[in-house]
Structure 1
Amino acid sequence: MPDTIPDDGLVLGLEGTAWNLSAALFGDELIALHSSPYVPPKGGIHPREAAQHHASAMKEVVSRVLTEPERIRAIAFSQGPGLGPSLRTVATAARALSIALGVPLVGVNHCVAHVEIGRWATGFSDPIVLYASGANTQVLGYLNGRYRIFGETLDIGLGNGLDKFARSHDLPHPGGPAIERLARQGNYIELPYTVKGMDLAFSGLVSAAQESGAPLEDVCFGLQETAFAMCVEVTERALAHAGKDEVLLVGGVGANGRLQEMLRVMCEERGAAFAVPERTFLGDNGAMIAYTGKIMLEHGVTLPLEESQIRPGYRANEVEVAWRTEPGEVFSIGPHEGGVARGAEAVVEIGEEDVVKRRPSKRYRNPALDRRLIAERTRAEARLIATARRAGVPTPVIRDVTADTIVMERIKGEVLKYVAAPETIRLAGEAVGRLHGTGIVHGDLTTSNMIVRDGQCALIDFGLASTSSEVESRGVDLHVFFQTLESTTENFEELKAAFVEGYTAVFPGADEALAREHEVELRGRYL
């Protein structure tokens, strides 16, 4: 296998994970692109009908771009994630073309392809990526040879949620553009807002929107404002946690102007760069498969025919990113020893003895939603910190509380994300076990919100905490922590074992909570 593609060589890419069948040629640049979307006559995407469409349209779509077969050096195809019948149709075509042209196959992860075509189209190097499409909603960042998933939907993808709401009101498929048009004439209404650390959930929001008796324009406005604010919040949380300075928006939902505006405002406030590829490269398209296949081929990553099975549940963090050799920046800003620190939702003034945490208004959020979240989270945080402390959980002492500000004790020590080791992670497990034992879930269990001192791990930042004794809430709490740990460390399994050891040592319900966390982990994200 050559290390580089000849100057006149091209890679043919086939995309067909769901509703859109697309083929493209990539050399030094995009040479050709042609698509044939499957539009369901009614309702959502029917996997078998989508696959039948792909099969019937395959010859025409490929022939429109494959005008010089002698120049083809590889066939790239979307190996997953996606709908099984659609993936199988595309994989079969890719194998046939590989054999007929005598060129290798390249199996491409659909999610990674969105990221790579976004990087190519915008020139961004090492961004935090919000990937929002029909079936996927994830926040990703590159570290040590893989794209790490900092956070994602715990139930349905954002685009599927919008489509589900649109179907309930007889709006055309896909639902996003119709909702965006209606929202321009609407006013804000309150709807459920569900963020759990760097994860989020849309089912409750969509159900409430479907059941709302408000005018349709107002419901569309409230649905967009709420869902998009959730996405921007978790993106900002990952940006603050990782210390990167670029944000990239990819995926079909990224075409929404309001979502782009909100992300742009957030990045301006944080001094980060923001970019979104042109619309051609946002939705599912053959160009992203051809381009990613090209850079994989250039680094010797090909797929034998006998290993070319489709992977409907193929996750981005399973891909070894051989074409990127840099380690990826994480935590480049370093720990704060004093002065002013800025997290995802608060400005923290660190004094010698006290910490003043103030939640400033977020310009990207609707003002009514912004006021509601600031007030709710400030009150709840102060109350739950005090409750946890009375129960023996290491937390700061609360000095004073106002509508948007908490004055509390400064806990002097090392932020866990900078000193993550088995002995410190075990202390974190003990602290979380004691917290869950009091009937409180933290809601934002990241290594940024834990401070090690005097043989203990103190928990801070209870802004997303709540009272709950449900095993589901505890399982999600643990999942948030494990996901953050996996995305930012190299010895995840060793650290996870240390956490579990500490957690089970102090919390009688640990086994049940850990089992539920495993269920949360296994839940399919491509629904």
Structure 2
Amino acid sequence: MPESIPPSGQVLGLEGTAWNVSAALFDDDLVALHSAPYSPPTGGIHPREAAQHHASVMKDVIARVLPEAEQVRAVAFSQGPGLGPCLRTVATAARALALALDVPLVGVNHCVAHVEIGRWATGFADPIVLYASGANTQVIGYLNGRYRIFGETLDIGIGNGLDKFARSHDLPHPGGPVVERLAREGSYLELPYTVKGMDLAFSGLISAAQESSSPLEDVCHGLQETAFAMCVEVTERALAHAGKDEVLLVGGVGANARLQEMLREMCEDRGAAFAVPERTYLGDNGAMIAYTGRIMLEAGVTLPLAESQVRPGYRVDEVEVAWRSDLGEAVRGEPLEGGRAQGAEAVVEEAGEFIVKRRVGKRYRNEALDRRLIIERTRAESRLLAAARRAGVATPVIREITADTILMERIKGDVLKYAMTEENLARAGVAVGRLHAAGIVHGDLTTSNMIVRDGQCVLIDFGLAHVSSELESRGVDLHVLFQTLESTSDSFAALREAFVEGYAEAFPGAEEALAREREVEMRGRYL
């Protein structure tokens, strides 16, 4: 490989993580792009069959773009995450090309490439990103040289979920566009809605939709409205927690007009900017690999052949983002600025020694779904705040309740997300340990929902709380917190350890709950 790396020039990018094999040339702009997607005759994507397809068309796909090349400076390829056989096919082609052209090899994280081509195409600087594709559903933000995962699916990706539903009704692949078309003719149908802090789960929703005997158009409409509302809600939670003002939608499912509309409405209501790249850059494509490979090349990030093994479980938060000089901000804004704050689902206002918390309607959500969630969450919060307090957990005292509003004690102290010390995390651990010991799961255990006052941690915002002694529920609760810590602090290991010490002190079942949290974490390790 050449020792010197040119500051610019054309980069050839190869994408082939799953269904689409694609090649592109990128200089200061896109020079050439050609794709040859694999479409299974029946059922879903079979990894070996997809890899065989990629191998059979690879030569032609590359040949379609190479004539546009003036001087290729590097070959970039999708190193992961993805289907192992597909990744290996593309990596083999990339190595051969790099050797033949005598240029560096660049291994690109597929998920990061979606984010970077989105930032380039829209001009956004530091957005919260909703990455919605077949295998992936993640909410991503940037901090100190890495893209951090604020939340993600705990089971199936949104695109694969739609495909699974489509197959159960003998609809063609891919299922997303067919569901979108049928949904336009249907009416709302109530289906399971599962949000866990900034994480979400689709398996119960997909199963209920598959088993429904309602008209197909209504099922598609209800499925789409429910799944996308879940995605927008967790994006809004990350946006509110981080205090950022840009939202970027990327990934193949991002082509859905209804999802775009819902995100745009959420951003308009929050005063945030929203953008989605043009369709060319949304689905898996060689352009995103070529562009990301180019900015990596400019930063001196190349890959020796001996280290070019594919990585089917390559996480976005494992990538060192050496090509960005800005650090990004984890948390902006101030709590209750001017006596008022807008959270992800409620407006909070000071009223003397009290706080008025009013859940507001969401324009992006179906009216019936929105009304149900507001009533359910207000009732759950009031009931479980009181139950937690009786169990010795510090919570605000409630004064009055209506269908959408709670008047409660104003807690004066430091919101944990602005005061993340080991001492405060240990206090948080004690509070959560007591909560779990009482058989209550918080459901939205982020550092925005903890206030340190007079040497103890007060838990607030019980809208997603529920009664449960199940290990799974406790493990998910802890996972939400640990994911929030990791996405907003570079001292994650020390903060986590401090929390665990406090948690184990207050909860006899801590060891089992922490073991389950590790299992939950591994479910996000792709494929």
- Structure 2 length-normalised TM: 0.98
Q: Residue 5 of structure 1: CA displacement?
A: 3.4
Structure 2 residue aligned with 1:205: 205
Q: Deviations 1:240-262 (Å, cap 9, x if unpaired)?
A: 00010000000000000000000
User: Aligned with 1:277: secondary structure?
Assistant: coil
Q: Is the 8 A contact 2:10 2:70 kept in 1?
A: no
Structure-2 separation of matches of 1:2 and 1:102? 12
Q: Which amino acid aligns with 1:184?
A: R
Q: Is the 8 A contact 1:243 1:329 kept in 2?
A: no
Q: Which amino acid aligns with 2:98?
A: S
Q: Residue 340 of structure 1: CA displacement?
A: 1.0
Structure 1 residue aligned with 2:7: 5
Whether 2:37 is the aligned partner of 1:37: answer yes
Where does structure 2 lack aligned partners over 5 or more consecutive residues? none
Structure 2 residue aligned with 1:96: 96
Q: Deviations 1:229-286 (Å, cap 9, x if unpaired)?
A: 0000000000000010000000000000000000000000000000000000000000
Whether 2:58 is the aligned partner of 1:58: answer yes
Structure-1 separation of matches of 2:413 and 2:352? 13
Q: Residue 68 of structure 1: CA displacement?
A: 5.3
Q: Residue 59 of structure 1: CA displacement?
A: 0.2
Structure 1 residue aligned with 2:458: 458
Structure 2 residue aligned with 1:397: 397
User: Aligned with 2:248: secondary structure?
Assistant: strand
User: Aligned with 2:170: secondary structure?
Assistant: coil
Q: Is the 8 A contact 1:374 1:404 kept in 2?
A: yes
Q: Deviations 1:287-312 (Å, cap 9, x if unpaired)?
A: 00000000000000000000000000
- Structure 1 length-normalised TM: 0.98
Structure-2 separation of matches of 1:481 and 1:340? 25
Q: Which amino acid aligns with 1:360?
A: V
Whether 2:113 is the aligned partner of 1:110: answer no
Q: Deviations 1:389-415 (Å, cap 9, x if unpaired)?
A: 000000000111100001111111000
Q: Residue 70 of structure 1: CA displacement?
A: 5.9
Structure-1 separation of matches of 2:411 and 2:139? 30
User: Aligned with 1:382: secondary structure?
Assistant: helix
Q: Which amino acid aligns with 2:179?
A: I
User: Aligned with 2:35: secondary structure?
Assistant: strand
Alignment of 1:111-510 (within 5 A): 111-336=111-336, 339-510=339-510
Q: Which amino acid aligns with 1:473?
A: S
Structure-1 separation of matches of 2:177 and 2:334? 41
Aligned pair count reads 525
Q: Which amino acid aligns with 2:443?
A: G
Structure 1 residue aligned with 2:85: 85
Higher mean alpha-carbon deviation, 331-340 vs 259-268, is at 331-340
Structure-2 separation of matches of 1:385 and 1:297? 53
Structure-2 separation of matches of 1:513 and 1:430? 14
Q: Deviations 1:41-65 (Å, cap 9, x if unpaired)?
A: 0000000000000000000000100
Q: Deviations 1:128-150 (Å, cap 9, x if unpaired)?
A: 00000000000000111000000
Q: Which amino acid aligns with 2:128?
A: I
Q: Is the 8 A contact 1:415 1:447 kept in 2?
A: yes
The CA RMSD measured in Å over matched residues stands at: 1.0
User: Aligned with 1:163: secondary structure?
Assistant: helix
Q: Which amino acid aligns with 2:279?
A: R
Q: Is the 8 A contact 1:154 1:525 kept in 2?
A: no
Q: Residue 350 of structure 1: CA displacement?
A: 1.8
Q: Residue 526 of structure 1: CA displacement?
A: 2.9
**Could you list the runs of 4 or more consecutive aligned residues of structure 1 that deviate by over 6 angstroms after TM superposition?**
none
Q: Residue 329 of structure 1: CA displacement?
A: 2.2
Structure-2 separation of matches of 1:352 and 1:281? 51
Q: Which amino acid aligns with 1:205?
A: L
Structure 1 residue aligned with 2:28: 28
Q: Residue 338 of structure 1: CA displacement?
A: 5.5
Q: Is the 8 A contact 1:3 1:299 kept in 2?
A: no
User: Aligned with 1:269: secondary structure?
Assistant: helix
Alignment of 1:63-74 (within 5 A): 63-67=63-67, 71-74=71-74
Q: Which amino acid aligns with 1:5?
A: P
Structure-1 separation of matches of 2:524 and 2:16? 19
Q: Which amino acid aligns with 2:10?
A: L
Q: Is the 8 A contact 2:388 2:435 kept in 1?
A: yes
Where does structure 1 lack aligned partners over 5 or more consecutive residues? none
